[in-house]
Structure 1
Amino acid sequence: MAGNVAVIDIGKTNAKLALVRRSDLAEIAVLKRPNTVLQGAPYPHFDVDGHWEFILAGLAAFQADHGVSAISITTHGACAALLAADGRLAAPILDYEHTVPDDLAKEYDAIRPNFAETGSPRLGMGLNIGAQLFWQFAQDQSLKSRVVQIVTYPQYWGHRLTGVAATDVTSLGCHTDLWAPREGGFSSLVARLGLEGKIAPPRKPSDVLGPILPAIAARTGLSPETPVLCGIHDSNASLLPHVLRQDAPFGVVSTGTWVIAMAMGGTQLPLDASRDMLINVNAFGDPVPSARFMGGREHDLALQGHRVAADDATIARVLNSGVMLLPALAPESGIFRGHTARWIGEEPAIGTPERTAAVGLYLALVTARCLQGIGQEGPVIVEGPFGRNRAFLQMLSALRPGPVFTSTGQTGTSEGAALLWGQGVPEQALEPAPTPAPEHEDAFRPYAKAWGDHLT
């Protein structure tokens, strides 16, 4: 398929616009802006108007410099937009990290479906969209009557581009409490919330919502016929290229603000909802056992902006010293939810390669526990920034029975979202992850065992 796909990629930390050449999935251009949360009334909410201006300006630049054939969309989960009759927001889009939904946790828990129905663990803050909606409707008694349609976050941007309202199965299947993944339909919560007919129709991520609106074409210079794809949840965008290319069993670790471990095939284990294990839904509507933690957030908290590389000798020194970080720096969620982070041994100074190495090893140890807990088998493919973290990759390679690979693209989310348009899947761009040097390889497993012993 010839042409370039402009991918709107709204992550929790950054908003991105990537232009992807569809023939080989190469990223021609990437623009970014911080995903800053606005703190004004009525609650912390996303800066959708700022993002919108950024998107339109970027689309115009991409069209002028390279040409745009289609638009695809991928965003973080746990996010819904409430649309009024005029198509505008009936209320700001709540930041899922705000704690206000917890105020009605007891009341919400009384109506939410169980894990067996939804595959959705009970999460704090607004990480369950059902809890967000329950709280929003309780705070503003007139809101529900003003809401004509509810769309998930990728489709909010699709709606602004096309005027067509939809949801997609991957976003509905992302711990919303609103979806029953094994049945492939809405859960019983939709009726309990009184939202029958108000949640926009679920569609496949690859469906075309429609062409861009005439005003968008005039503003950006894009053809009025430019198609807009329905869109996809970001970790499922990272998974999609591998679902299309790989034979099961295999696993994908999507890294960013969240680290999402996903198992295709593998051993069917009972998932522990109390440890942030869940059922995701892939682009084809299939259930995917998953586990997650805020690895990117923890990485940034631990390093405090100091990106100092750690070579093999430094990694070996940390392994042999026994210095290690225990979970969790972001204890509100994840497989070690509720644990208090602490250092064993002398904490490495901020800005040193030893700290970089220790943090990379820690992140790999948590990721390995996630993969083990969801029954992952076969190779593991690491997407995103941790694919360039040497300590992380070496420890993961030492612990997993199958080989570990990294994706050579800048962001697996953009590649996956671009694949929603057109036909054909280019050859996979994977590289073997760096494995421990022979003289150091015997140090990884004892370190991992000691780390585990400290958790008991």
Structure 2
Amino acid sequence: MDDGQKVNGARIAVLDVGKTNIKLSAMTCDGIFVESLSVRNEVRSGPPWQHHDLDGIGDWLFGSLATLCRHHPLEKVVGTGHGSAGVLVNADPDDTSALPMIDYEQDLPPAIRDGYVPLSGDFFDRGSTIMLKAAHQARQLYWMQQVDPERVAQARWYLGLPQYWAWRLSGVPSAETTVLSAQSHLWNNVRKKWAPIVAGQGWKRLMPPVRSAWETLGPIRKDLARRHGIPERLSVLTGGHDSSLNLYRYQAAGMPDACVISTGTWIVGMCAATPLHQLDENRAMVLNSDVAGRPVGGVLTMGGREFSHVAGQGQEGNAADGALVSLLIERGTFALPSFGDDDGLFPGSAGLGRFEGPPAETPAQRKALAVLYAALLTWECIDALNENGLVALDGTFLRDPLYATLVAALRPTAETVYNLDSYGTASGAALLGEHETRHTPAPIALSLPAPFAGDREALRAYARRWRELANRHVLAKTRPAKGPTDDR
């Protein structure tokens, strides 16, 4: 596309910062994708720790935003990103960061890991269990403070990832509830207040004002706009957490209580109707927020990496064979959790993933077993969320049509739908642009899974047996979180 060509309809730019890739997309205000530019999210080695290249991302972002503005009559820009990222900054938006942004997938020094635990509060202060590696904004800030207390003392703000880029663009600092509630450990979403660790560690001065995800922070900074050739008319929104904005896409479409299961490296389940007293941190359950600040029950498990382990190599582009799934069910071939480094929904199962029954001998059988295993993990997530109503599936697992078919067959008395869009997070973020003026449901394309061609009763009996075997080697009992006992 040359610079003189403009596409009607795109009015908002969405910056989507993933762990591996970063995308800047031109979207319509109805959440329809028009054009996208992307770059890898590079991680550099320390010292003082592995960190993301904020300078390089900034150069790419500002140049790409100028390019998209030449292609489209953009009026707004909004950011979204994963929740395990915080950036400590000084007062000047051109001074990239006070300390490098920590890569959450690196191991922690034992002293940091052990020192943080007694400071972290109860489940509702954290919104999750204490996760692996360097997850959680509060723990990252604690690490920074232990390594370089002087720079932390001199810093001005500690910002979630979407709000960091909003600050770089607008110069206005902000915090936002979906990001804070994405297991930052900084915010108690039930009590709507900062978690005790914030005051306890002297961090209140670093916490910016809480703003709504759809709120306009201001126009793009004039000096930044002129430097990079970006129109000064562009306004900057607060932005929010990626999975929460994907959920918002369904809420904006008229499904406020839908249970949304997004799939990729993680299986992420979110449901605003889940009773808070049923959230069990020992079963990978978390407490998130929707854009309105309403508590949202969630569950996280690294289903994508487990899928890859079960499927093996060589079947990436091939669809699973339903007849082979039926054969595996008939023979009693099981893949049992967990193949990753975390327990997921089965406490004590990390690293104990195993196969039982006659082996899946061919690559096609392994692929069929992986899809069946993914459907069972999803079924377990839905059950943990106590959801007997509408479930919407989206994400990469839907590249295999049999996945949605199996999930639907495992819950025969409830409705299951799916969405094939590959830009759900960006769509939800774009819908923020008209949050306060939208009077009709936003468009979304939903489909019903094809019926399972095999023996449905045999499938459900297999699922019950799978759950029994999966729990057989559980090494720790689950304990529900103590807290509110409402049955919303």
Matched, 1:447 2:462: yes
* % identical equivalent positions: 30
2:434 counterpart of 1:428: no
For 1:218 and 1:295, locate their aligned partners in 2 and report how far apart those are by CA, in whole Å.
45
Query: What is the match of residue 213 of structure 2?
Result: 205
TM-score, structure 1 normalization: 0.92
1:21 equivalent in structure 2: 28
Indicate yes or no: 2:18 matched with 1:11.
yes
Q: In the TM superposition, what is the alpha-carbon distance from 1:270 to its structure 2 partner? A: 2.3
Contact 2:272 2:294 in 1 (8 A): no
Structure 1 pair 79–304 and aligned structure 2 pair: CA distance change class (3 A): farther
Say which of 355, 361, 364 aligns to 2:372.
Answer: 361
2:236 maps to a residue whose letter is: V
Q: Deviations over 1:141-180 (max 9, x none)?
A: 3232121111111111111111111111111011122111
Deviates more, 1:205-214 or 1:294-303: 294-303
Aligned equivalent of 2:342 = 332
What letter is aligned with 1:324? F
> Hey, what's the Cα distance between the residues in 2 that align with 1:354 and 1:65?
47
Alpha-carbon deviations, 1:361-413, whole Å to 9, x = none? 21221222122112223111112222333232122112234211112322210
Q: Secondary structure at the match of 1:421?
A: helix
After superposition, the C-alpha distances for 1:240-290 in whole angstroms (9 at most, x for unaligned) are 022233445430112232221111225554221122211101100110011
**Which whole-Å CA distance do the structure 2 matches of 1:174 and 1:167 have between them?**
12
Distance 2:378 2:33 in 1: 27
Preserved contact between residue 13 and residue 26 of structure 2 (Cα < 8 Å) = yes
Counterpart Cα distance in 1 of 2:461 and 2:81:
39
> 2:303 is matched by which residue type in structure 1?
G
Q: 1:214 aligns with which of 195, 212, 222?
A: 222
Q: Deviations over 1:122-153 (max 9, x none)?
A: 22322222222112211223232121111111
Instruction: Please list every run of 5 or more consecutive structure 2 residues that lacks an aligned counterpart in the other structure.
Output: 1-7, 473-488
Corresponding residue for 1:131? 139
Partner of 2:199: 191
Work out whether 1:74 is the aligned partner of 2:80. Answer: yes
Residue 434 of structure 1 and its aligned partner are, at CA, apart by 3.0
Q: Shift of the alpha carbon at 1:452?
A: 1.4
Task: Report the residue type matching 1:126 in the other structure.
Answer: A
- Aligned positions of 1:48-67 closer than 5 A: 48-67=54-73
- Between the aligned partners of 1:299 and 1:10, the Cα distance in structure 2 is 24
Q: 1:311 to 1:62 in 2, by over 3 A?
A: farther
Residues 71 and 228, structure 1, Cα contact 8 Å, conserved in 2: yes
What amino acid does structure 2 have at the position aligned with 1:271?
Answer: L
SS in 1 for 2:245: helix
Q: Sort the Cα spacing of 1:297 and 1:13 in 2 relative to 1 into closer, same or farther, 3 A.
A: farther
C-alpha contact 2:302 2:344 (8 A) present in aligned 1: yes
Q: Is the 8 A contact 1:262 1:371 kept in 2?
A: no
- Offset of 1:300 from its aligned partner? 4.1
Change (3 A) 1:298 1:257: same
Alignment partner of 1:373 is 2:384: yes
Q: Specify the code of the residue in structure 2 equivalent to 1:447.
A: Y
Cα distance in 1 for residues equivalent to 2:188 and 2:416? 32
User: Is contact 1:75-1:153 (8 Å) kept?
Assistant: yes
* Equivalent pairs, count: 453
In structure 2, what is the equivalent of residue 230 of structure 1?
Answer: 238
Counterpart Cα distance in 2 of 1:304 and 1:147: 47
SS of residue paired to 2:198: helix
Q: In the superposition, relative to structure 1, how do residues 394 and 137 fare at CA in structure 2: closer, same or farther (>3 Å)?
A: same
The answer as to whether partners of 1:101 and 1:132 remain within 8 angstroms in 2 is no
- Structure 1, residues 57-90: CA drift from partner, whole Å, max 9, x if none? 4323322333322111110001100002334301
1:108 CA displacement = 1.5
Contact (CA 8 Å) 1:331, 1:338: kept in 2 or not? no
| Cα distance in 1 for residues equivalent to 2:227 and 2:308 | 37
Q: Letter of the aligned partner of 2:328 in structure 1?
A: V
Shift of residue 106, structure 1, vs aligned partner: 2.8
For structure 1, which segment, 188-197 or 94-103, has the greater mean C-alpha deviation from structure 2 after superposition? 94-103
Match of 2:178 in 1: 170
- The alpha-carbon deviation at position 330 of structure 1 amounts to 2.2
Cα pair distance change 1:200/1:373, threshold 3 Å: same
How far does residue 341 in structure 1 lie from its aligned partner after superposition?
1.5
What is the CA deviation profile of residues 276-333 of structure 1, one whole-angstrom value per residue up to 9, with x for unaligned ones? Answer: 2111011001100111112233334554574122132333333334333222232335
1:231: how far off? 0.7
- The alignment partner of 2:305 has SS state of helix
Alpha carbons of structure 1 residues 270 and 418: separation in structure 2 relative to 1, 3 Å: same
User: What TM-score comes out, normalization by structure 2 length?
Assistant: 0.86
Q: Distance in 1 between matches of 2:76 and 2:53?
A: 24
How far 1:416 moved relative to its partner? 0.5
Q: Which runs of 5+ in 1 are unaligned?
A: none
